[in-house]
Amino acid sequence: MITEASVDNQELQSAVIRFAGDSGDGMQVVGDRFSDSSAIAGHDISTFPDYPAEIRAPIGTLPGVSAFQIHFGGNEVMTPGDAPDALVAMNPAAMKMNLQDLKEKGILVVNTGQFTKGNLKKAGYESDPLEDPQLDLDYQVIRIDLGKLTEDALQKSPMKRGDKARCKNFFALGFVYWIFGREVDSTIEWINGKWGKKPELAEANVSVLKAGYYFGETTEMVPNSYKIARAVTERGIYRKITGNEALALGLVAATQCSQMDLVYGSYPITPASDILKFLSSYKNFGVKTVQAEDEIAAIGVAIGASFAGSLGVTGTSGPGLCLKSEALGFAIVTELPLIVVDVQRGGPSTGLPTKTEQADLLQAMYGRNGESPVVVMAASSPGDCFDTALEAVRVTLTYNTPVVLLSDAYIASGSEPWRIPMVRDLPDISVDHVLYGDEYVVYKRDPQTLARRLAIPGMPGLEHQIGGLEKNEEGKVSYDPDNHEEMVRLRAEKVQRVADTLDPLVINGPDSGDLLVLGWGGTSGAITSAVDAMQAEGRSVSCVHLRYINPFPHDLGEILHRVKKVLIPELNRGQLTMLIRSRYLIDAIGFNQVRGRPFLIQDLKNKIQELL
């Protein structure tokens, strides 16, 4: 935590910074650059991009505010932080939307050039907040006219005045770099790479970045600069990665581990679109991507690919999962391998396209007609998206049943350092198809997994029939009541048998006691941080985080019954809570928020304390 101090260079274990401005001010760019520089400096990081759904909201308005928060430090960083130690506000609207989150005595950098009467009115200010003496009592306020200083730095540039003004985000970045002891070299290299074909623009951004840095070095406005401790990490090669990038790389790795081509069918939808973009650059690894005309066509492409012997995957968000439900049922009854990635966002309907939520769980579990169970699993962090994707492929190929892989906007867009795994450490998940000359019965099952074997269509002697109508073991259409009941039972039992291959759950803390906090998905970092803090205070609390929600791990029930109380925090109205109550008949306590934002650690600590 930042405090006022008399020293020139204060050492901190960690810090949280938030950049906020108009959606056209480049806040995501500078936030991303600060993240990269922190990772290069050897810090653990966690980021939270927060931007409006509109392509370009009206300039200077509250709905148009875009922000990027980064938590970086020497300890293990599991969340982007509850509240910023430093806030950069590029205009009045950014200050209005974010000031209430800034810690007491935190650093407030304001762009005074944008505090005009018109902009103040757009932000809902009746008077200029920068003239309020209380502001300087509450925060360390640094008033800078970024526009003027940027223009001064580019006096000799032939660029137009409007183009020069757009460089001011790099002045702010350079200034914050100096405050927090960041180097500028990696950002300069990135600028030259991005705008190398526009040397005028590259030179201008580099000049402004340096000007901001040297302004921090020479001005007397800043009482302190800060040195952040380096993180102690496991030996290896690391890169910064978002959840969508990690998920895409997990699928690419799966093509090599399974020795199968990947076909990814998708219709662009926020916040899942980047997966399609990332996968499209891996054609050399046997990856084929199809941007379909709609959600139904996208899952149809994936199902067709699986039938033809490839690994079929489709990606979407909540509204698209609704549209895919009938085709997903088709994949269930035909018992084809298929992965449906759902990067959850705020709903219902169009809802909050760029905000996070966990409200698709019951849709993933039950959102189809008939008895149609699928495997449901959820990633817990950006880096975990890689492992979860690889695991989803293992399951869908081993059991020939669809898998719904749940991510969410928070971990999909957020980033963290990720240790790149060694290829030799990746599992072999290859499977055998029926070969020419083999005896083939379409729905004859493996006695252990209950999976049917697949025959690649077009092979002589292996012609067969599958489809949406119920079949008997030979693959013939059957309306026999006993056959239907048996096939329904087998499909459900097959999903449950996935649990036979799962490792025991990891309990963070004592395996019995007063309270267990049970979570799933992107709540992992906040839950673990809150539980660790309460354990440090001597409280009898532990936590378990689920990757598998259908089937539940075999040891979950025993774990739940060993504690006095179970708390389930979710970014929905209690969907996992309902499943746990009905399955294990315990009075699980829900802690639910649907605000489009991830949990704060302090909110979880308060709830835990309330129950102990």
SS3 of 424-457: the string is HHCCCCCCCCCCCCCCCCCCCECCCCCCECCCCC
> Residue 251 to residues 271, 285, 314, 360, 405: CA-CA distances in angstroms?
18, 10, 11, 22, 12
DSSP conformational letter for 268: -
3-state secondary structure of 169: helix
Q: What is the 3-state secondary structure (H, E, C) of 399-422?
A: HCCEEEEEEEHHHHHCEEEEECCC
Query: Over pLDDT 70: what percentage of the chain?
Result: 99
What distance lies between CA 133 and its chain's CA centroid? 40
Phi-psi category of residue 355: left, alpha or beta, with phi > 0 → left and psi -120 to 50 → alpha: beta
Strand 541-546 and strand 14-22: the pairing is unpaired
CA distance 71 to 16: 4
Q: In CATH, which superfamily holds the domain spanning 240-425? A: Thiamin diphosphate (ThDP)-binding fold, Pyr/PP domains (3.40.50.970)
- CB burial of residue 578 (10 Å; 0-12, 13-18, 19+): middle
What CATH code is assigned to 513-611?
3.40.50.920
Beta bridge partner(s), residue 546:
520
> pLDDT by residue (tens digit) across 12-29?
889 999 999 998 899 999
Question: pLDDT value at position 461?
Answer: 86
Question: pLDDT value at position 153?
Answer: 94
Question: pLDDT value at position 11?
Answer: 83
Q: Residues of CATH 3.40.50.920 domain(s) within the chain?
A: 513-611
pLDDT level of residue 5 (50, 70, 90 thresholds): very low
**Above 90 in pLDDT, residue 392?**
yes
pLDDT level of residue 56 (50, 70, 90 thresholds): confident
Q: Residues of CATH 3.40.920.10 domain(s) within the chain?
A: 9-228
**Above 70 in pLDDT, residue 473?**
yes
pLDDT level of residue 209 (50, 70, 90 thresholds): very high
- Supply the DSSP string of 56-94, one letter for each residue: SPPTTSGGGEEEEEEEEESSPP-SS-SS-SEEEESSHHH
CA distance 539 to 378: 28
Quick one: average pLDDT of 184-194?
A: 94
* Averaged pLDDT of the chain: 94
- Supply the DSSP string of 521-573, one letter for each residue: GGGHHHHHHHHHHHHHTT--EEEEEESEEESPPTTHHHHHHTEEEEEEEESSS
Cα within 13 Å of Cα(257), Cβ side: 24
pLDDT level of residue 518 (50, 70, 90 thresholds): very high
Name which of 113, 23, 114 is nearest 67 in CA terms. Answer: 23
CA distance 211 to 385: 39
**Above 50 in pLDDT, residue 3?**
no
Question: pLDDT value at position 227?
Answer: 87
Q: In CATH, which superfamily holds the domain spanning 9-228? A: Pyruvate-ferredoxin oxidoreductase, PFOR, domain III (3.40.920.10)
Question: pLDDT value at position 233?
Answer: 77
Q: Residues of CATH 3.40.50.970 domain(s) within the chain?
A: 240-425
- CB burial of residue 61 (10 Å; 0-12, 13-18, 19+): middle
Strand 86-89 and strand 14-22: the pairing is parallel
- The dihedral sign for the CA sequence 557, 562, 563, 565: positive
